[in-house]
Amino acid sequence: MALIKVKDLAYGRLRAPDLDVMEEFLTHFGMVRAARTPNALYMRGTDPSHHLHVTEKGDPAFVGFAYHAAGEDDLGRVAKAPGASPVEGTRDPVNTGNEPLRRAGVLMRLPKPPAPIKRIGHGVLGTPKVRETVQWFRETLGFICSDDVYAGEKENIIGSFNRCDRGDEYVDHHTLFCVTNERAGLNHMSFEVPDVDAVFMDHEYLARLGKYEHMWGVGRHLLGSQVYDYWCDPWGRVHERWADTDRLNATSGSNLLPAHEALVSQWGEDPPEKFIRHVSP
Ligand SMILES: [Fe+2]
């Protein structure tokens, strides 16, 4: 029985010594500034959340991920977990419109890149303790297994894709992926863009800028099925843009798969070594 069941990923939190440089990267990436203080940068997408990416001023570091609790009761409950801090006041959301695209009689004319980021999708942690880390997230925040991946013996879990438990409601195939690594840290954080066009068009846009290191993509994952593209921020932290994920609900079940079948793309190049081994501490 999990302590609570989180609804979704809320934001990723990093540290960087230069908030101007970070804001420029995230603007090129497709986010919009929501707020800026002397010590922190808050960036948003087109969905109503006030922000989905926070950068605190400081030495480069991955601070963590934040998740939406279902309500204040759950927040109070999880605040009593070992190591948890007390509940603090929260910020009001800022709403925006989000008009669906209707194509009947309408010519396709794409907006200039970058396409705005819509929402944060998932966070990926590298860890030497996949089993223990995943167990904590399942027991504390109510994540459920979508796909566990093993190498060699079936007990040797090297990666675990987990989704939020929102009952009958359909959620992203994974909001949390934990993957084995010698060091603990951030592998990547991941953001949804409006559609597949946006993934490709903005891949070209970011490449043309010539300012950022490209990590991997474009391709389509097998597990989760997203069309993906991965870029590094100016301090080497990997940010993914994706469109078109699989959506599952609590009854969709869980799988156990060998790595050679699971960690492949449906099309696109294999992940480079530098991506597989990557963690930002
Ligand atoms: Fe991802």
| Tens-digit pLDDT profile for residues 217-231 | 999 999 999 999 999
Asked if residue 191 lies in contact with residue 119, where contact means CB atoms within 8 angstroms, the answer is yes
pLDDT at residue 103 in the model: 58
Peptide bond between residue 48 and the one before it cis (omega within 30 degrees of 0): no
pLDDT of amino acid 230: 98
Q: Which residues contact 215 (CB under 8 A, 6 or more apart)?
A: 188, 230, 231, 232, 238, 272, 274, 275, 278
Dist. CA 99–CA 211, nearest whole Å: 32
Distance 270 CA to ligand 1 centre (A): 14
Determine the pLDDT at residue 164.
Answer: 97
Q: Determine the pLDDT at residue 109.
A: 79
pLDDT of residue 93: 41
**Confidence (pLDDT) at 21:** 98
Answering whether pTM is above 0.75, one says yes
Residue 76 CA, ligand 1 centroid: distance in Å = 30
Calculate how far, in angstroms, residue 106's C-alpha sits from the geometric centre of ligand 1.
33
Which tokens belong to 31? Answer: 């986010």
Whether the bond between 78 and the residue before it is cis, its omega within 30 degrees of 0, is: no
pLDDT at 188: 98
What pLDDT is recorded for position 87? 84
CA neighbours closer than 13 Å in the CB half-sphere of residue 234: 18
At 98 the pLDDT is 54
Tell me which residues of the chain have a pLDDT lower than 70: 89-104, 106
**How far does residue 200's CA lie from ligand 1's centre (Å)?**
16
Near ion ligand 1, which residues have CB within 5 Å?
Answer: 190, 240
Residue 94 has what pLDDT?
A: 39
